[in-house]
Amino acid sequence: MADETLDRTALTVLLDTVGDDREFLSELIETYLADGPALFVELRGGLASGDVTAVRRAAHTLKSTSATFGAMRLAGLAREIETAAADDDLVDLGPRIEAAQAEFDLVGGQLRAAAEPGVAS
């Protein structure tokens, strides 16, 4: 499951949780995708200035929201970043952040496709 870009059962659960409102689900996905770039700005900025707290917080949010939408591989990458930041270890974080960015770009397309009517149910 951790290797999957998108775990569709998570989307089904989310749709059920918000009262089967497909339109609202699409709004949530758009909010998630729109919030992403700001999180990556924080990750990169925090890494550059050595602000471990900023990196940890941004990674924590990315992990949590990605898991909500079933973006399990991205959630896993974000957790690694969060753990490293919590351990004060910013070495090697650059490549991980870029890997997360690439995964996030991949997730975007798949999420929008999955949210089309008739797919995520």
Calpha distance 74→5 (Å, rounded): 7
The CA distance from 29 to 24, in Å, is 9
Q: How far is the CB of 45 from another protein (least distance, A)?
A: 16
**CB-nearer residue toward another protein: 66 or 98:** 66
| Inter-CA distances, 31 with 28, 36, 48, 52, 91, Å | 5, 9, 26, 26, 31
Residues in contact with another protein, shown as a per-residue x/- string from 28 to 57 under the rule CB under 8 A: x--xx--x---------------------x
DSSP code, position 5: S
Cβ at position 21, least distance to another protein in Å: 7
Residues 8, 26, 67, 80: which binds another protein (CB under 8 A)?
67
Residues of span 71-90 touching another protein by CB under 8 A: 79
Alpha helices in 19-92 (DSSP H): 22-49, 52-68, 72-86
> Can you tell me which of 1, 16, 48, 119 binds another protein, judged by CB under 8 A?
16
Q: What backbone torsions phi and psi does residue 19 show, to the nearest 5 degrees?
A: 75, 35
Residue 20 CB, shortest distance to another protein, in Å, is: 9
Residues within the interface to another protein (CB under 8 A): 10, 13-14, 16-19, 21, 24, 28, 31-32, 35, 57, 60-61, 63-65, 67-68, 79
